[in-house]
Chains A and B, each alone.
Chain A
Amino acid sequence: MELIRTENLAKVYEDDGIKTEALRNINLSIKEGEFVAVIGPSGSGKSTLMQILGCLDRPTSGKYFFEEKEIHSYTDDELAHIRNYKVGFVFQSFNLLPRLSVLENVVMPLIYRGTPDKEREKKAKEVIELIGLSDRIDYQTSQLSGGQKQRVAIARALVTDPKIIFADEPTGNLDSKSGEVVLRFIQELNHQGHTIVIVTHESYVAQAAKRMLHIVDGEIDKDETVANQKIISKEGFSK
């Protein structure tokens, strides 16, 4: 099933009367179960694309269909609802709340859903188990290493059973070893059927995906299937 489709999507920023075209003429389609890497140099507009696809921002022009519905006329609340129920985000800078415990951070999206305490705690514990941090469940996230933080962020994205997970440079703030671990988890999620869009400027990260979208100057330069997807095992990248 087609999850995401855009038609001539464009985003223009206006700053002091000077218009900057961040995206133009974006036509793409992402189906359920795909693992797409959006790759391009910094300033190419890849993050802007992710923000629009993730319903954090609205396009200036063009059409965006999420689950075959045009979201152009959606209110802020309806977009918030999509973010809460259908989308999970993993950010470069983790964006965890430092004084909350691992469990409290993971459970947060479900708080905005109004899920009862017991149910959401059970769900959160499941995903924390999945990312292998059950022994850190009551730690404040400020006590965790970078890699562990990003795994908590992944758990937080997963806890709502989203249709799609957007990861914006998820390994950007990590050393290569913990970056690999995080990437392995993301790949693993895709194996389990999750749809994933990962934004990166590093080609070795993009190699872990199944499809690569090259963005240059706000346009899709190339859209290719990754010929030899690199499978990351516990020992690192397999050749």
Chain B
Amino acid sequence: MILFHDILKMTLRDLAVRKNRSALTILGIVIGITSIMVVMSVGKGAQEYVLGEIQRFGPNNVFILPGKEPSGPTGAMGTLLNDSLKERDIDDLSSKSNVPQAVSVIPYVFGSVSLSVGQEIERSMIIGSTVGSQKNFDLKLAEGRFFDEFDLNDKARVVIIGDEIRKKLFENSEAVGQKINIKNLDFQIIGVLAQKSKGSFIDFNDSLIAPYTAIQQDILGIRHFQRVAVEAQSEESIPTVVADIKMTLRENHKIEDPEDDDFNIQTQEDIAKTVGTITGILTVLLFSVAAISLVVGGVGIMNIMLVSVTERTREIGLRKSIGATNKNILTQFLAEALFLTISGGIIGVLLGTSLTYLGIYFVQEFAQIDFPFTFSFNGAVIGILVSSFIGLAFGVFPARQASRKSPVEALRYE
């Protein structure tokens, strides 16, 4: 019986002789396994990200968006009727008789504005809401206070600013008590938000929050709400809450056919599903790339192995003449194919992991999304297994060709 380390030594030596060719041969495998690795890592990270977001946002939140549910890829219908959510809707939704299992109903308006302090001009996002938004978004204050019911009723021009904005406009000087100019109206800064982890659907570090009464018409020039968050008592009560919301709004808007709804409701589950669909499409896409490149890579391996078998016909004859069995020859060539593909697999796992890491680093750095990097152990295992399988599947044919050569004819081969 030939010893294992002898096979390994033989393989390494034979491949070392054909370095460049071997390296080029495994390219397809490398690309394939890299794709698998990226899919697995990003998929896992995306899942963790979405779950984390839902946890942070409170899994019981239901969002009402104005306009029809976007149906096409362009979402054009979504922009129709997008001013449907009015003050009256909020009042009715807040009423216990309409939606009994809602804990809170919080309307939001938002928009991009330019603001200035002295000569400093910045662009940023302004959010208008009610007092409940502090709890809804779990906002913590570094200094000052949040606006209260009086501010809301008085349409007080007060604003709480994100930490990033504070740094940009005031650097190290005191911000609370200062005036900030938004669309030629002076707002007083009453609070600064504590650094909040970035990522969710809004970046609070780079935003302003004010009573919606103060900005809805004066700043944003609208009379509707762009989003309403309704918190359900419990996860179990979400379907009931959704049904109640629909009923209330249809009644208010005099809608009889649900097809004519001028609002749509997103639960956290829906959001998770949407993200799931997107990652699903990406996964299918990358897996297709993986499958194609693995098959092409496998055929490449087979091709190069067949060339190698032909080139080494005399060597095969010699080895047989000194006592190598058919199985010995088969093993030698199969080992070579396997070694090639598994090397490709390992390189793919490393490359895929690095690319994922880099990609996520850039996403975190520039898009400011708190997407976690995870090493997919399953991906690595699958990558190595798949590459071994490719080696076996595409190496068997050339290896059999080699092992079946008649020693006499092989020795005579020129």
Binding site for B on A (CB under 8 A): 51, 54, 56-57, 76-77, 80-81, 83-85, 89, 91, 95, 97, 99-100, 108-109, 111-114, 116, 156, 160
Cβ 8 A contact of B407, one of A56, A84, A108, A160: A56
In the complex, the answer to whether B2 meets A114 with C-beta atoms within 8 Å is yes
- What is the total number of residues of chain B having a CB less than 8 Å from a CB of chain A? 24
Cβ 8 A contact of B322, one of A99, A100, A109, A114: A109
From residue B306, how far is it (CB to closest CB) to chain A in Å? Answer: 20
User: Interface 1/0s, chain B 282-322, versus A by CB < 8 A?
Assistant: 00000000000000000000000000000000110111111
In the complex, the answer to whether B322 meets A112 with C-beta atoms within 8 Å is yes
A99 to B315, CA, bound (A): 12
In the complex, the answer to whether B2 meets A77 with C-beta atoms within 8 Å is no
A95 to B318, CA, bound (A): 6
A186 to B289, CA, bound (A): 62
In the complex, the answer to whether A80 meets B326 with C-beta atoms within 8 Å is yes
Q: List 11 A-B contacts (CB under 8 A).
A: A57-B407, A57-B408, A80-B325, A80-B328, A81-B325, A85-B323, A91-B318, A95-B321, A100-B13, A156-B322, A160-B322
Contacts of B247 in A (CB 8 A): none
Contacts of A76 in B (CB 8 A): 325-326
Q: Assess A51 versus B322: contact at CB under 8 Å? Given A111-B6, A114-B1, A114-B3.
A: no
A95 to B312, CA, bound (A): 12
Q: Assess A83 versus B408: contact at CB under 8 Å? Given A97-B315, A114-B2.
A: no
Contacts of A97 in B (CB 8 A): 315, 318
Cβ 8 A contact of A112, one of B315, B323, B406: B323
In the complex, the answer to whether B324 meets A77 with C-beta atoms within 8 Å is no
Contacts of A54 in B (CB 8 A): 321
Contacts of B3 in A (CB 8 A): 111, 114, 116
Check if B327 is an interface residue, CB within 8 A of chain A. yes
From residue A138, how far is it (CB to closest CB) to chain B in Å? Answer: 15
From residue B19, how far is it (CB to closest CB) to chain A in Å? Answer: 13
From residue A77, how far is it (CB to closest CB) to chain B in Å? Answer: 5
In the complex, the answer to whether B411 meets A80 with C-beta atoms within 8 Å is no
Contacts of B321 in A (CB 8 A): 54, 56, 83, 89, 91, 95
Contacts of B326 in A (CB 8 A): 76-77, 80
In the complex, the answer to whether A112 meets B407 with C-beta atoms within 8 Å is no
Check if B278 is an interface residue, CB within 8 A of chain A. no
Q: Assess A91 versus B411: contact at CB under 8 Å? Given A83-B320, A97-B315, A99-B13.
A: yes
- Of B1, B17, B324, B326, chain A has the most CB atoms within 10 Å of the CB of B324
